[in-house]
Structure 1
Amino acid sequence: MLAILGFLMIIVFMVLIMTRRIAAMIALIVVPVVFALIGGFGKEMGPMALEGIKSVAPTGIMILFAILFFGIMIDAGVFDPIISTILKIVKGDPVKIAIGTAVLALLISLDGDGTTTYMITISAMLPLYKRIGMKPLILAGIAVSSSGVMNLLPWGGPTARAMTALQLEMGDVFTPIIPSMIGGVLFVLFMAYCLGRKERKRIGVLEIDYETMAQMAASAEADQLKRPKLILINYLLTILLLVALIQEILPTTVLFMLGFAIAATINYPNLHEQKERIMHYADNALSVVSMVFAAGIFTGILSGTKMVDAMANSMITHIPDALGSQLAIITAIISAPFTFFMSNDAFYYGVLPLLAKAASVYGIDPAIIGRASLLGQPVHLLSPLVPSTYLLVGMVGEDFGDLQRMFLKWACGSTAVMILVAVILSII
């Protein structure tokens, strides 16, 4: 009964946001509350929701200060050289711009943090997309697709969870799937090429020289906010922050708070200027952070009612014995919908050990199941339960449902390519 209730809740939620019947933030709050009441969890619902909010609080605060930090860097002109370099290469060709976006996002994703990837990629490329008339939704889709493949890096999260849950080493899980990641990267570049072709057909190639494009991009931000004399200091601060994030010197939330405080003080020492910069990004920050806390209610109720456990057990027990020897491939396939409908923590710490235990009966190494469980990550990042994706759609000013409608098929394609490479090369 709980499993059926859980599946119905997910279906209703997805239908509501993808058909634009209700805003995603409201659906994240209302839908789980209604289904919790239907399931008879009225008395326990409050503590469940509060627990979910507590679990996402560090992420919400981190995103808030990440927006403020990178906002300061954007205003100060830190990313202007990046934009200029890209402009020299891509000029006015939508195909080159789309591929350039993918390359930039893939490179930035090496830090393993989706929030950083989106902040830098969107900040660098959005002015260009707007100036030549390309759809910002394509920019968001390419960024999330790139991050979906690179999310498999050991410091990205899922791989570390898989290794911890199955008590394995990096050489057991991550190193063997590098060829699959390469396949995923090539697919993302192919996707960017296809989308660029469609945009080229729609708007054509703009015949404008680099100087004109640079002036257009530069005019997107107020010149008085630029801090060219501080650019080296700002680069150093940004690099130090990224290194500290990767090395986990301090919690991510604390690092972004410190980074913002230092950046604001250096670039805009005047108290009035600091308040103006904070107010400038307040609208975007509020919409994104409120969505994160709303998602906390959804995940809190989904986990607290044990619906997520019932859903997982229901799917696992319905795998026929005849397919037992194919559990690695089955794990790879179901990792996409499982990580879409539940958090990575719930899947890797709750479901993965069950899958590995079931596979061991058929003589399948837990390491193989661990590798297979990572291949659905491109689909996972389009889940309404991923906070950073709300930041992404907020930055480009698009609707979450539109992003899902346009790019879920591409995400499934990326997962399919990685699974195919893994099967061909006997990685799983």
Structure 2
Amino acid sequence: MLALLGFGIIAVFLYTTMTKRLSIPVALIIIPVVFGLIGGFGTEIGKMMISGIVKVTPSAMIPIFAVIYFGLMIDAGMFDPMVNKILKLVKGDPVKITIGAAVLAMLVSLDGDGTTTFIISVTAMYPITRKINMNPLILPFAVGMAAGVMNPLPWSGPTTRVMATLQSDASIVFNPIIPAMIAGIAWVLFACYYVGKKERSRLGVADFGGNILAEPEFDGGGQNPSIKRPHLFWFNVIMTVLIIAGLLAEIMPMATLFVIGFAIVITVNYPNLKDQQERMKNYSTEVVTIVTLIFSAGCFTGILSGTKMVTEMARALVSLIPQGMGSLLPLVVAITSMPLSLVFPTDAYYFGVLPVIYEMAASIGIEPVQIGRAAILGQMTVGFPLSPLAAATLVLISVAKVNLVEHQKFMFLWAFGTTIVMTMVAYLTGALSF
């Protein structure tokens, strides 16, 4: 009975969210509550929801303060010299332009927001690609590949969701896949070199005969110059490097690193209280969205766990696995993760599908965290710049002025290759195992 109720929750959740009949937060709360009442849990549901919220609260701090921190760095202009340097270096060479667009996107992707990455990166590089008549699909390809391979970062959406549902932290979920992510970055740069070289064979190398940055079409993305802090560039760079180094060295929880970093950089860059309030107001919508989503997910997982529905669902599914095939579960999740970005929205996959697979894995002796790591090698990470279910993808094709289907055809196999490379390295380094 509990397994049937659990599958009912998943089915209704997927249906109502994918058909947009309910918003994600509402579905995460209402659906398990209704099924919990049907299951006779009554007044226990409230305690289960609070328990789930308490468990995800530390995970909620990471994306909130990371988003604000990197938003401040973008506003202050920390990335501006890097953008200008890349523009100067690429000149009129399609190979350099393609690789430069990818490198720029990787840098901007540190803020964990795909929409911001696409707007800044495409806006910066689009005039050059247009000026030398490059294939318009190459720019969104390079930017999308780069943003995708950076999206497993622990403050990005997919990894945050894995940490929330597993009640784990970045040192366990993310750090073991760092070698795989580095291999993925190398693959992306190779893909950009290969595609750029083919385009260079078609077009040659253009000579602008002057400084292209001085031309009117290069307007710096239309950002407000009054919030820039060029005199604090090195301070901001050093702070960012220290935070990332502290994250990798695990000197303290990631959430506290970003909390402390946020407090320091907003005080130094915007000492005026009114300016601080203006910057915070600028990020308020995104922060409220993150908090609502994560706490709603806490309610969802709290009810599924508290009622033991997820355990019974896993037992039912395990009985269907052929003997001797259970050890391949992480591999199956990893290989299918990127293509499933075209089918499942982020929340439907990470909150609806993965919790069941976690329990399946645990019941056959596989660490659930391996499933989480396998998922972030592709599902709405590498795959999100291709997915029509991701709003950022629609922004990408809009600012790049390309057709979604043509973009998907151009990029799909290369993006799938990123997941394959990352999966192989994850197995070689022990992040995943048979």
Distance 2:322 2:151 in 1: 30
Q: How does 1:350-361 map to 2 (within 5 A)?
A: 351-356=360-365
- Report the identity percentage: 35
Distance 1:422 1:250 in 2: 25
Classify the secondary structure of the residue corresponding to 2:222. coil
Which residue is 1:329 aligned to?
328
Which residue is 1:129 aligned to?
122
Aligned-pair RMSD on alpha carbons? 5.3
1:311, CA displacement in angstroms?
Answer: 2.3
Which residue is 2:387 aligned to?
none
Which residue is 1:112 aligned to?
none
CA-to-partner distance for each residue in 1:210-258, whole Å, 9 max, x for gaps? 4158974525221111111111111111111111122222222222121
CA-to-partner distance for each residue in 1:174-222, whole Å, 9 max, x for gaps? 69x96x77875577668889999xxxxxxxxx99974158974525221
1:307, CA displacement in angstroms?
Answer: 2.1
Distance 2:266 2:86 in 1: 27
CA-to-partner distance for each residue in 1:341-380, whole Å, 9 max, x for gaps? 55999689854453238xxxxxxxx9xx997885443345
Q: Is the 8 A contact 2:66 2:111 kept in 1?
A: no
Indicate yes or no: 2:26 matched with 1:26. Answer: yes
Q: 1:293 to 1:73 in 2, by over 3 A?
A: same
CA-to-partner distance for each residue in 1:115-134, whole Å, 9 max, x for gaps? 94625x76555223257499
1:301, CA displacement in angstroms?
Answer: 1.7
Which residue is 2:376 aligned to?
377
Amino acid aligned to 2:10: I
Distance 2:392 2:224 in 1: 21
Q: How does 1:35-54 map to 2 (within 5 A)?
A: 35-54=35-54
Which residue is 1:201 aligned to?
none
Which residue is 1:237 aligned to?
239
Q: Is the 8 A contact 2:119 2:395 kept in 1?
A: no
Q: How does 1:198-213 map to 2 (within 5 A)?
A: 210-211=212-213
Classify the secondary structure of the residue corresponding to 1:269. coil
Classify the secondary structure of the residue corresponding to 2:365. helix
Which residue is 1:13 aligned to?
13
Which residue is 2:112 aligned to?
118
Amino acid aligned to 1:377: I
Q: Is the 8 A contact 1:128 1:217 kept in 2?
A: no
Q: Is the 8 A contact 2:191 2:414 kept in 1?
A: yes
Indicate yes or no: 2:313 matched with 1:296. Answer: no
Q: 1:315 to 1:279 in 2, by over 3 A?
A: same
Which residue is 1:279 aligned to?
281
Distance 1:22 1:144 in 2: 28
Distance 2:416 2:10 in 1: 18
Indicate yes or no: 2:140 matched with 1:146. Answer: no
CA-to-partner distance for each residue in 1:54-92, whole Å, 9 max, x for gaps? 122122223222222222211111011222234346679
1:422, CA displacement in angstroms?
Answer: 8.8
Distance 2:307 2:416 in 1: 29
Distance 1:64 1:159 in 2: 16
- The one of 250, 257, 268 equivalent to 1:266 is 268
Distance 1:15 1:194 in 2: 41
Which residue is 1:250 aligned to?
252
Q: 1:346 to 1:372 in 2, by over 3 A?
A: closer
Q: Is the 8 A contact 2:6 2:313 kept in 1?
A: yes
Q: Is the 8 A contact 1:33 1:45 kept in 2?
A: yes
Amino acid aligned to 1:43: T
Distance 1:54 1:83 in 2: 41
Distance 1:183 1:141 in 2: 17
Distance 1:308 1:195 in 2: 45
Distance 2:2 2:59 in 1: 29
Classify the secondary structure of the residue corresponding to 1:356. coil
State the TM-score, normalized to the length of structure 2: 0.65
1:52, CA displacement in angstroms?
Answer: 1.4
Q: Is the 8 A contact 1:9 1:32 kept in 2?
A: yes
- The one of 317, 320, 342 equivalent to 1:318 is 320
1:35, CA displacement in angstroms?
Answer: 2.3
Q: 1:56 to 1:371 in 2, by over 3 A?
A: closer
Distance 1:141 1:21 in 2: 29
Q: 1:80 to 1:214 in 2, by over 3 A?
A: farther
Amino acid aligned to 2:363: L
Distance 1:13 1:370 in 2: 23
Which residue is 1:199 aligned to?
none
1:410, CA displacement in angstroms?
Answer: 8.8
Distance 2:373 2:89 in 1: 34
CA-to-partner distance for each residue in 1:250-272, whole Å, 9 max, x for gaps? 22222212111111111111121
Q: 1:72 to 1:334 in 2, by over 3 A?
A: closer
Task: Tell me the matched-pair count.
Answer: 376
State the TM-score, normalized to the length of structure 1: 0.66
Which residue is 2:131 aligned to?
none
Which residue is 2:400 aligned to?
none
Amino acid aligned to 2:264: I
1:287, CA displacement in angstroms?
Answer: 1.9
Q: Is the 8 A contact 2:63 2:160 kept in 1?
A: no
Q: 1:67 to 1:377 in 2, by over 3 A?
A: closer
Q: How does 1:343-422 map to 2 (within 5 A)?
A: 351-356=360-365, 374-380=373-379, 415=419
Amino acid aligned to 2:64: L
Q: Is the 8 A contact 1:376 1:415 kept in 2?
A: no
Q: Is the 8 A contact 2:53 2:295 kept in 1?
A: yes
1:318, CA displacement in angstroms?
Answer: 1.4
